[in-house]
Amino acid sequence: MPHRAPLIALGNPGRNFATAICNPALIPVKFTHPCAEDREPGRGFVDARAALRYIWGIKLLSQPRLPRRVSQFPASIVEPWRLSVAPMLDWTDSICRQVHRRLSRHALLYTEMVTSAALVRGGARHLLRFDPVEHPVALQLGGSDPVELAQAVRMGADEGYSEINLNVGCPSDRVQSGSFGAVLMKSPELVGDCLGAMRAATRAEITVKCRIGVDDQDPEQALPALLDAARGAGVKRVIVHARKAWLQGLSPKENREVPPLDYALVERMLSAYPDLKLCLNGGIATLDQAEDLLSRGFAGVMIGRAAYHQPVDILASADRRIFGQPTTDADPVAVAHDMRPVIAGHLARGGRLIGATRHILGLFAGQPGARAWRRALSEMPNGTMADFDALLDGLTQRRAA
């Protein structure tokens, strides 16, 4: 009967690593994933060489644990996640985030989802660029390969992101074809492996955003399984979109609206997982609603489309109402003027005016003149700074009248 080596758990990455590579008797050997000592044997690597490839892939031994420019959340604001703006593909780019930051100094902002493959295999490091004014800002990654995600995490942390988030909630066909996003709700063990690798690669905070289940999954089982995986990987904060996702038959837009919200299920997880900070996402459209949910024990609320289409309603008073800061509410006219150098820079780089001004179409939503503002911006998609300056002058004159 062939010799079988004992199971070696790398709960502390690298702790037993040297023993394994220096002792041929330990091959073959099974390794469990870092931060997964409590998992049953047989779920880890098939042999020592696979484990070594994994460890070298995330460069635990060859890279310093703290990246050069990893940023921490500001010491004066310990919980920016109390209110966050959701990552939204094609919407929450750097210019959008700079608009939102001028409305709230403290709300946590997220990038659009960036795939680990685009960064690691495609060399698209430009997707990580942001302006320091955006802090606190988090990077959202999409992917399902632990080694590749760890490499992407190091790239993101090196750029200075305060938090790096794993997307386990997007249901689009494009994302499913890459075997990541909401489809990962079916593979909580893989999610745990990904999160463990991401945490091992950086000291930036690692979080995960998920659904309560997909397709025919029972959310009462699917959500706890995901939370168990996140907790087992050492993750401390999870953002839950309180809807199931249907991977077939519904568009991404329909998946944001058709599956019913189940806040009660997520609220029950507060007592079941007291060691996790649970933030709620989905269907939150007002700051009053956000305040109510925070009062019920959620660590934070994440708002998406409402924050984009009615940014002043959600963000202008957030520093005062959500973060308790003794500040005056942000002025949308001042924000429009403050965005001028950002828009000028966008044009200087060859961008179209509408590429920047689309993010302020809703700046005066619900206020007199909002329709005229939207129409004026929409009618000059290829306008110049002189066109935008004329619009700003009109805002100033109307205020003075």
The mean pLDDT of 270-281, rounded to a whole number, is 98
The mean pLDDT of 122-139, rounded to a whole number, is 97
Contact 209, 170 (CB under 8 A): no
Please state, as a whole number, how many other Cβ atoms lie within 10 Å of the Cβ of residue 397: 9
Identical fold for domains 80-321 and 332-400, yes or no, is no
Among the options 22, 35, 96, 170, which is catalytic? 170
28 SS3 class: coil
**Closest-CA residue to 68 (of 131, 126, 148, 154):** 154
**Closest-CA residue to 279 (of 57, 127, 82):** 82
* 332-400 placed in CATH 1.20.120.1460: yes
Q: What spatial distance separates the first Cα and last Cα of the chain, rounded to whole Å?
A: 93
Residue at token pair 């750029």? 159
Amino acid, res. 200 = A
What is the signed CA dihedral for 295, 298, 304, 306, rounded to 10 degrees?
A: -10
Please state, as a whole number, how many other Cβ atoms lie within 10 Å of the Cβ of residue 211: 28
In tens, the pLDDT along 184-225 reads 999 999 999 999 999 999 999 999 999 999 999 999 999 999
Please state, as a whole number, how many other Cβ atoms lie within 10 Å of the Cβ of residue 18: 10
Asked if residue 131 has pLDDT above 80, the reply is yes
Contact 135, 161 (CB under 8 A): no
Average pLDDT in the chain: 85
**Closest-CA residue to 191 (of 232, 161, 220):** 232
Contact 247, 207 (CB under 8 A): no
> What pLDDT was estimated at residue 33?
36
Q: CB burial class (10 A; 0-12, 13-18, 19+) of residue 252?
A: middle
Asked if residue 78 has pLDDT above 80, the reply is no
Is-catalytic flag, 279? no
Q: Where are the domains of the chain?
A: 8-57, 80-321, 332-400
The mean pLDDT of 292-304, rounded to a whole number, is 98
Which of 74-88, 131-145, 290-304 has the lowest average pLDDT?
74-88
> What is the distance between the alpha carbons of residues 327 and 319, in angstroms, rounded to a whole number?
7
Residue at token pair 């700079």? 98
| Confidence class for position 72, pLDDT limits 50, 70, 90 | low
Asked if residue 134 has pLDDT above 60, the reply is yes
Contact 189, 221 (CB under 8 A): no
Asked if residue 232 has pLDDT above 80, the reply is yes
In tens, the pLDDT along 14-36 reads 333 333 333 333 333 333 333 33
In tens, the pLDDT along 145-185 reads 999 999 999 999 999 998 999 999 998 766 666 688 999 99
Asked if residue 77 has pLDDT above 70, the reply is no
> What pLDDT was estimated at residue 373?
96
CATH class of 80-321: alpha beta
In sequence order, the β-bridge partners of residue 137 are 109
In tens, the pLDDT along 368-400 reads 999 999 999 999 999 999 999 999 999 989 887
- The DSSP output letter for 78 is S
In tens, the pLDDT along 29-68 reads 333 333 333 333 334 444 444 443 444 444 333 344 344 4
> What pLDDT was estimated at residue 257?
82
> What pLDDT was estimated at residue 15?
33
> What is the distance between the alpha carbons of residues 274 and 267, in angstroms, rounded to a whole number?
11
**Closest-CA residue to 291 (of 311, 272, 317):** 317
Residue spans of alpha helices (H) in 116-218: 116-120, 146-159, 173-177, 188-200
> What pLDDT was estimated at residue 311?
98
> What is the distance between the alpha carbons of residues 327 and 330, in angstroms, rounded to a whole number?
9
> What is the distance between the alpha carbons of residues 339 and 260, in angstroms, rounded to a whole number?
38
> What pLDDT was estimated at residue 289?
98
Residue at token pair 């809807």? 243
- The DSSP output letter for 240 is E
- Strand positions, DSSP E, 201-306: 205-210, 213-214, 237-241, 244-245, 277-281, 300-303
Q: Which residues of 106-142 are buried (b: 16+ CB within 10 A; e: fewer)?
A: bbbbbbbbbbbbbbbeeeeeebbebeeebbbbbbbbb
